[in-house]
Structure 1
């Protein structure tokens, strides 16, 4: 046996590095704390201190890990926790009632639960513990019979899910993390293949040939592969800076600019977004044509609407301003940063206009998707540099 075999074999047990940011780790911990506390507190309010039903069962702790720490996992979605726990609880109680040997009952309960979860597409790992709890939970659990499915399992699963939905919404995190269900036409698939080199159907076909379940949504995997390809492509343009491709003629407004004046700037300059700056030209927000169209009192009739609104209020100069509709959370880049910083903004977050700032935070340019493509094209066709 080679001397390097044992160290190499043991190295496989080392944990993989965790790429999750510390802010996200803290958010997950606080979410699990609130979720379990809410679930236990709700059970206490519903059943009272003298209830014979457990206020919390152990599998809910494992479910909390999935719902709050890895909410993008297909195993952590709403149907997974509700369907998986209810199916496993029902099977577990049935096995406990029909099979006298607890070891055999426990083994069959877990195996049949996995089978049921696969059939109903609600695989949820903590549900295996739910099945075991129904069999090995002791006299208190056994006395509940099929009531165990409703309380505590159904109530606690629903309470924990409700806490996750509210918490993720309050902290700006997407949940449920369901995959895209829209149908892709043949022309859209051909467009994906020409731009990226592969389609969502290709990703799903490869996953379908594997003999194991991967804990990732196919559309998330497609987005990850697409961004990786864009990142690898843009790496060859690392010397190209944002200031090299930005549009230097920037039309900006202040938060107090009237709606009518801002709308005129949109029309006269044929732009779709205006950065909002303060007196020192520092970025404080951004406003787009869509913001105007979606907001009453803005748009083509804003000057007239604002005038009559001011007239009715006794102030003819009073009208809606940009500050009431602008977006204050703006993705921006520094002028000296490489264009690789633009890839996730355009690829994943749906941004179409990215303000460019100098070292003091002042707006010095604007980059659109057209600017990025034009810059990459110029870099591609530029003649190679001569070396001495």
Structure 2
């Protein structure tokens, strides 16, 4: 143990967020007190001290698992109950105080509602004086749950007004294929995080989902550092198979089949990109989501089936910009343009081959990169 271990640690919190947290506590506690005093005809002392600690979490650290609605309501509620139980069964105040907090922590762990102010809620039931003791079990409802519910309601409105994600749930982003699998970029990270959390054992004040998102952002940053000099033109396919809007859909089908590819850029007379047509476009009727009859392809043009809003990359754009689109975005191909001119296309196979080459040779530069055909 060293002296620096007692020094404050960096929280990486901006001045703006700090001000938002302080202002939120003012609004939340003042609103709770006024609602209790005026709206319900209660005296101001019904705003109990532990609500100040709940306000710190709710407004200054709304992403914390300890600040979520379940933790605030259930954590404070079961803690109040444990405090009342201890105060009524144990006459010695010192023993009752310690017992109340111990039981409160145990109850919060059992109900998965750990909320640090709950310890103060339990302690208040013991040392809060005759007025609190006289309430008995009523202390759980008034003031504890009433204060908690009002403070939480104001916290929900305040955090939503600021654009914060609250409640800060741990639900992962939905899989675009509507399956239960995590997003492709999260699958390896999920296993690693589970292993690390099990090995660590202690409670961490960060949700599993937030930890996973931080890890993914760190990995993407590391990837940018490694492949920052590699551009789309270094790995794109240049000898392109294309079609035109006026071509028959059946002709596009034959091109895809002959070249064993899954998408054709659609260009006009000036080689400008105007769309893209894929096997999916040819096989599935978008309107009815039904298989398309072969006979219909003989009468439809590419313009009737192609996707006109095409996600593209720029010729000199860093390769790492495309990683998310090809993984979680579900893209299989991305045309590369210079101005409006089509100059290449990057497919998943191009992307995988490029990243594999970079993994084997971390120092690869754009001059050393070799275009990969697909």
State the TM bucket, normalised to the shorter chain. Answer: 0.5 to 0.7
> What's the TM-score, normalizing by structure 1?
0.61
> Aligned-pair distance for 1:171?
1.4
Report the equivalent of 2:54.
63
> What's the TM-score, normalizing by structure 2?
0.63
Aligned length: 287
Q: 1:179 to 1:36 in 2, by over 3 A?
A: same
> Aligned-pair distance for 1:77?
0.7
In the alignment, structure 1 residue 21 sits paired with structure 2 residue 11:
no
In the alignment, structure 1 residue 154 sits paired with structure 2 residue 145:
yes
Q: Deviations over 1:178-234 (max 9, x none)?
A: 11279999x976984xx5672424422431333311111112111211221221122
Q: How does 1:140-219 map to 2 (within 5 A)?
A: 140-180=131-171, 192=184, 198-219=188-209
Question: Which of 210, 213, 232 is the aligned partner of 1:223?
Answer: 213
> Aligned-pair distance for 1:238?
2.9
> Aligned-pair distance for 1:142?
1.4
Q: Find the residue that maps to 2:224 and give its secondary structure.
A: helix
> Aligned-pair distance for 1:371?
9.0
Native 8 Å contact 2:108 2:114 kept in 1: yes
Answer with 153-162 or 198-207: which moved more. Answer: 198-207
Q: 1:348 to 1:231 in 2, by over 3 A?
A: farther
> How many angstroms apart in 2 are the aligned matches of 1:21 and 1:376?
38
> Aligned-pair distance for 1:176?
0.7
Report the equivalent of 1:269.
275
Q: Find the residue that maps to 1:269 and give its secondary structure.
A: strand
Q: Find the residue that maps to 2:6 and give its secondary structure.
A: coil
Which of the pair has more CA radius of gyration? 2
Q: Deviations over 1:91-136 (max 9, x none)?
A: 1011111111110000000000000000011000010000011101
In the alignment, structure 1 residue 84 sits paired with structure 2 residue 75:
yes
Q: Deviations over 1:314-368 (max 9, x none)?
A: xxxxxxxxxxxxxxxxxxxx9999777888x86999799xxxxxxxxxx999xxx
> How many angstroms apart in 1 are the aligned matches of 2:220 and 2:167?
27
Q: Structure 2: any 5+ residue segments left out of the alignment? A: 237-272, 278-286, 288-313, 332-338, 359-363, 369-374
> How many angstroms apart in 2 are the aligned matches of 1:43 and 1:335?
63
Q: Structure 1: any 5+ residue segments left out of the alignment? A: 1-7, 247-266, 272-292, 294-333, 353-362
Q: How does 1:331-370 map to 2 (within 5 A)?
A: none
Report the equivalent of 2:2.
9
> How many angstroms apart in 1 are the aligned matches of 2:206 and 2:233?
37
Report the equivalent of 1:121.
112
Report the equivalent of 1:232.
222
Native 8 Å contact 1:85 1:130 kept in 2: yes
Question: Which of 91, 103, 107 is the aligned partner of 1:100?
Answer: 91
